[in-house]
A and B are shown apart, each in its own frame.
Chain A
Amino acid sequence: MNLSAAKDTFIIESRELLDEMEHSLLELEKDPSSQDAINAVFRAVHTIKGSSGMFGFNGIVDFTHVAENFLEKVRKGTIKISDDLTAVLLECRDHIAELVDIYAEGDASVPAQLVAKGNEILKRLESFLNEGQTISSKHNEAKEAKEAEEKKDTASVTKTSRDRVENDCWHISLRFGKDVLRNGLDPMAFIGYLKNLGKIINLVTVTDAMPKIKDMNPEECYLGFEIDLETDKTKEDIEQVFEFVENDAQIIIIPPNSSVDEYKMLIENMPETPMRLGEILQSIGSLTEHELEKAMMKQIEKGGLEHEKPLGEILAEEKMVPEAVIDAALEKQKKTAVEVKKSIRIEADKLDNLINQVGELVITVSNVNQLADKNGDKELLEASSIMSRLVEEIRDSAMNVRMVQIGETFKKFERVVRDLSKNLGKKIDLEVSGGDTELDKTVVEKISDPLMHIVRNAVDHGIGMPETRKKAGKPEYGTLSLNAFHDMGMIIIEISDDGEGINKERVLKKAIERGLIAQGQELTDKEIYNLIFEPGFSTAEAVTNVSGRGVGMDVVKKNIEALRGTVDIDSKEGEGTSIRIQLPLTLAIIDGFRVGVGETSYIIPLDMVLECIEITEKDILTKRGGNFVNLRGEVLPFLRLREFFDEEGAKSAHENVIVVRYGQMKAGLVADRLLGEFQTVIKPLGKLFENVHGISGATILGSGEVALILDVPRLVKAAQRIEEESKKLHTAGVA
């Protein structure tokens, strides 16, 4: 059987459970009495143990088994939660994560070193036990008991050698209790299963216990079976077949070539008269006539021929299941059944495929629209516009499927902040809000690293030591807050702290040292703060092992921009810093604005378009190599796409300027024709075009024509750079 798909599920599921466990442990640190958190921790370990066993991941089973037993005691309240304990439990969690990683990579065995580490952790766990408690596994005890019983069994089989019967089959006598059918324990299945052990040589259904029709309760069982089974399995194996009816049936198993005594016992114990049962046994060949006579003789000797035991009595002799005490709390819980989020797991590839196909559909529909428009067929136009709407809804639903909550990512930071602040001797509270904000899975995956970096930075540089904070009149505990929300079709993630804020002087000094700006250059506060995102900038004076390694915020910025997002920083010295990340909800489809330049179509992401204006030669101001246009008194730099992309073809008389915005910057892009809004499925560019400046992707139009998607941030910067250079030249000229 191919379990590899299930294995993947196991790995994913385990990691999710471990995240949850971590989260709950951190919660326990804050609120040691939270029963929900304790239960969640228990459930995580419990479930991982349960599933890992199915794959034979014994390394995980061994470790989680002990941990689970320990947690059971915590859950019952016999061990109290303390900070020290949660710390060890976190280590347990990390250890399980490591084990899961090992299996994820396909290793079937755990390195001895890791096993030793696990044992060491478990040993520390044991130190939390109260006197007299153990977490030694019941598992072993049960095993030993079973082994002992097995030994006994074989001993009883090999006793007396005299009076052996000829029958070399196992004989099985079954009398089912009246409740088996109601309990779903169907004799048909058990007997059918016997065939897995060997060959049924003979079998007879004993119907003697069946009452008259008026007394018969059809939901009760009145049947018995006498079976001869040929098998090389052990008595225990045969007993195992009937494990679930142990308490609900009378079962006698007689090994091959047993002594007549065994059959005598059988005849004595079964509810039928000895004569009747003897007849049956002889007729199916379990006993020869002679053997039967012998058994019956012994019966008579004992004067037990009339001795009959009703089935009920025999059952009563056997151990009955004690009536379990019903937990009142459980009863109560049942009444408040909460809604659960039901979910199915889908491979990311399948989703991508769906999105792709929906994308194609969007394109085709816009093609149909265009054709309908061109032919002027009113009815068709109407139908196609309805179709457009539906397809748009499908697109939204499909996109929605890819949406995941950012909360999972936020959760990861709890541990990071905890470990880091402990490490640095800081006291920090993490406040998370908007965890249920949804965004595209790919975006979430890709934003995780940059976010991590920002969070580490805030802990390392942003929030000061408790003493420093006290001196500054702030509470000992610093607050780091993560917030996510939707705004204008974008998602905003804010990371803010109430720390020391950014020291402008220090930033400026460093920037000048690094040659990022010129001495004496006038910068606004914002510009100064944003220097932090420049390549090669690092403010930490002492490089700590936490964040300051030179690879810094510039990488963060680059990653965010790669997601078509922006990042912005604001700070007040002494009060704190706030970093704001703006991201598109999805990467796959954008609403675009289509423009024509020469023979080519270009797409500008619609959310970056501010307005369109038409200009003539006289609106254009040319200053020292740059192009500017007078936009209601504002000087706006612009780029001619025709020039930028070396586009040929007929120039139009009028030039259209599309005013775009990127962050706080504005620029104009000049095109020949405005072609209107257009929904676009982004296709990644091939290797060949990867380095084409100013293009971020491509799309296929309804007509089959390819349109290029403009990389607005780069274009805006290019336009701005021309402006800056001209400014510099201008200033230099004046000086």
Chain B
Amino acid sequence: MSKKIMIIDDSASIRQVVSLTLKESGYEVMDAIDGQDALNKLTGDKIHLIICDVNMPNLDGIQFVKEVKNNPQYANYKFTPIIMLTTESEEEKKLQGQAAGAKAWIVKPFLPERLLAAVQKLALP
């Protein structure tokens, strides 16, 4: 049974590359274009890992993490590991994300291999 990963990013090309990379390594992938879209898609199916951009319109990454971790509506996902996608200029956001419960992060820009490594450290394929 392959593990399911959700990628949340407002950039279509990032979603696409992440998707391709992970699928090739045997993961199942679903995507969302921002925090709100992602919340809407947390409907009960098990998700093993969430990859989430920090800087997004609508509902940004930090807010998304807080929702998932604290809102009882998403209790089925509160222990799911979350990788934040940040840039160096967003050190503050990274810390906010960690405080909110997203303990892993990748600094953008990243190569697909870097992403895959981070994912494998959190969810065995």
Chain B residue nearest in CB terms to A181: B79
Give residues of chain B (82-103) contacting chain A, Cβ–Cβ below 8 Å. Answer: 82, 85, 87-89, 92, 95-96, 98-99, 101, 103
Q: What separation, in Å, do the CA atoms of A728 and B112 have in the docked complex?
A: 74
Contact call A186/B122, Cβ cutoff below 8 A: yes
Residues of B within 8 A of A189 (CB): 120-124
- Whether B76 sits at the interface, judged by CB under 8 Å, is no
Q: What separation, in Å, do the CA atoms of A72 and B99 have in the docked complex?
A: 23
Give residues of chain B (43-89) contacting chain A, Cβ–Cβ below 8 Å. Answer: 49, 53, 55, 57-60, 62-63, 79-82, 85, 87-89
Q: In the complex, what's the smallest C-beta–C-beta distance from B91 to chain A, in angstroms?
A: 8
- Whether A282 sits at the interface, judged by CB under 8 Å, is no
- Whether A663 sits at the interface, judged by CB under 8 Å, is no
Contact call B109/A1, Cβ cutoff below 8 A: no
- Whether B2 sits at the interface, judged by CB under 8 Å, is no
Residues of A within 8 A of B63 (CB): 330, 333-334
Given contact pairs A53-B110, A69-B89, A337 touches B122 in the complex (Cβ within 8 A)? no
Residues of A within 8 A of B109 (CB): 49-54, 61
- Whether A190 sits at the interface, judged by CB under 8 Å, is yes
Contact call B96/A324, Cβ cutoff below 8 A: yes
- Whether A689 sits at the interface, judged by CB under 8 Å, is no
Give residues of chain A (1-17) contacting chain B, Cβ–Cβ below 8 Å. Answer: 1-3, 5-7, 9-10, 12-14
- Whether B111 sits at the interface, judged by CB under 8 Å, is yes
Q: Which of B85, B105, B120 has the most CB of A within 10 A?
A: B120
Residues of B within 8 A of A185 (CB): 81, 103-104, 122
Q: What separation, in Å, do the CA atoms of A46 and B79 have in the docked complex?
A: 29
Given contact pairs A184-B82, A340-B34, A340-B37, A54 touches B111 in the complex (Cβ within 8 A)? yes
Contact call B24/A1, Cβ cutoff below 8 A: yes
Q: In the complex, what's the smallest C-beta–C-beta distance from A642 to chain B, in angstroms?
A: 55
Contact call A338/B121, Cβ cutoff below 8 A: no
- Whether B33 sits at the interface, judged by CB under 8 Å, is yes
Residues of B within 8 A of A184 (CB): 49, 79-82, 101, 103, 122
Q: What separation, in Å, do the CA atoms of A51 and B57 have in the docked complex?
A: 17
Contact call A186/B81, Cβ cutoff below 8 A: yes
Residues of A within 8 A of B103 (CB): 183-185, 244-245, 248
Residues of B within 8 A of A138 (CB): 88-89
Contact call A196/B120, Cβ cutoff below 8 A: yes
Residues of B within 8 A of A10 (CB): 13
Given contact pairs A13-B12, A338-B58, A323 touches B99 in the complex (Cβ within 8 A)? yes
Q: What separation, in Å, do the CA atoms of A184 and B103 have in the docked complex?
A: 8
Contact call B104/A53, Cβ cutoff below 8 A: no
Contact call B11/A50, Cβ cutoff below 8 A: yes
Residues of A within 8 A of B120 (CB): 189, 192-193, 196
Q: In the complex, what's the smallest C-beta–C-beta distance from B57 to chain A, in angstroms?
A: 7
Q: What separation, in Å, do the CA atoms of A228 and B53 have in the docked complex?
A: 36
Interface size on B, residues (CB 8 A): 52
Q: What separation, in Å, do the CA atoms of A330 and B120 have in the docked complex?
A: 31
Residues of B within 8 A of A183 (CB): 79, 81, 101, 103
Q: In the complex, what's the smallest C-beta–C-beta distance from A461 to chain B, in angstroms?
A: 41
- Whether A139 sits at the interface, judged by CB under 8 Å, is yes
Residues of A within 8 A of B96 (CB): 324-327
Chain A residue nearest in CB terms to B56: A43
A202-215: CB near B (< 8 Å → 1, else 0) gives 00000000000000
Contact call B37/A193, Cβ cutoff below 8 A: no
Q: In the complex, what's the smallest C-beta–C-beta distance from B8 to chain A, in angstroms?
A: 13
Contact call A321/B11, Cβ cutoff below 8 A: no
Q: What separation, in Å, do the CA atoms of A47 and B10 have in the docked complex?
A: 8
Partner of B13, one of A13, A61, A333: A13
Q: In the complex, what's the smallest C-beta–C-beta distance from A319 to chain B, in angstroms?
A: 12
- Whether A68 sits at the interface, judged by CB under 8 Å, is yes
Q: What separation, in Å, do the CA atoms of A10 and B79 have in the docked complex?
A: 32
- Whether A322 sits at the interface, judged by CB under 8 Å, is yes
A667-698: CB near B (< 8 Å → 1, else 0) gives 00000000000000000000000000000000
Partner of B104, one of A43, A51, A192, A244: A244
Chain B residue nearest in CB terms to A334: B63
- Whether A182 sits at the interface, judged by CB under 8 Å, is yes
Q: In the complex, what's the smallest C-beta–C-beta distance from A122 to chain B, in angstroms?
A: 16
- Whether A345 sits at the interface, judged by CB under 8 Å, is yes
Contact call A5/B111, Cβ cutoff below 8 A: no
Residues of B within 8 A of A192 (CB): 120, 124
Q: What separation, in Å, do the CA atoms of A717 and B10 have in the docked complex?
A: 52
Q: In the complex, what's the smallest C-beta–C-beta distance from A521 to chain B, in angstroms?
A: 58
Q: What separation, in Å, do the CA atoms of A517 and B53 have in the docked complex?
A: 65
- Whether A137 sits at the interface, judged by CB under 8 Å, is yes
Q: What separation, in Å, do the CA atoms of A3 and B55 have in the docked complex?
A: 24
Q: What separation, in Å, do the CA atoms of A188 and B123 have in the docked complex?
A: 8
A110-125: CB near B (< 8 Å → 1, else 0) gives 0000000000000000
Given contact pairs A54-B13, A189-B121, A334-B63, A340 touches B58 in the complex (Cβ within 8 A)? yes
Contact call B122/A56, Cβ cutoff below 8 A: no
Given contact pairs A53-B109, A184-B81, A6 touches B13 in the complex (Cβ within 8 A)? yes
Contact call A56/B82, Cβ cutoff below 8 A: no
Given contact pairs A10-B13, A184-B81, A340-B57, A139 touches B92 in the complex (Cβ within 8 A)? no
Q: What separation, in Å, do the CA atoms of A6 and B18 have in the docked complex?
A: 10
Chain B residue nearest in CB terms to A188: B124
| The 3 A-B residue pairs with the shortest CB-CB distance in the complex, in nearest-first order | A53-B109, A184-B81, A10-B13
Chain B residue nearest in CB terms to A340: B58
Q: What separation, in Å, do the CA atoms of A9 and B11 have in the docked complex?
A: 9
Residues of B within 8 A of A244 (CB): 103-105, 118, 121-122
Q: What separation, in Å, do the CA atoms of A43 and B55 have in the docked complex?
A: 8
Contact call B88/A43, Cβ cutoff below 8 A: no
Chain A residue nearest in CB terms to B104: A244
Q: Which of B10, B14, B55 has the most CB of A within 10 A?
A: B14
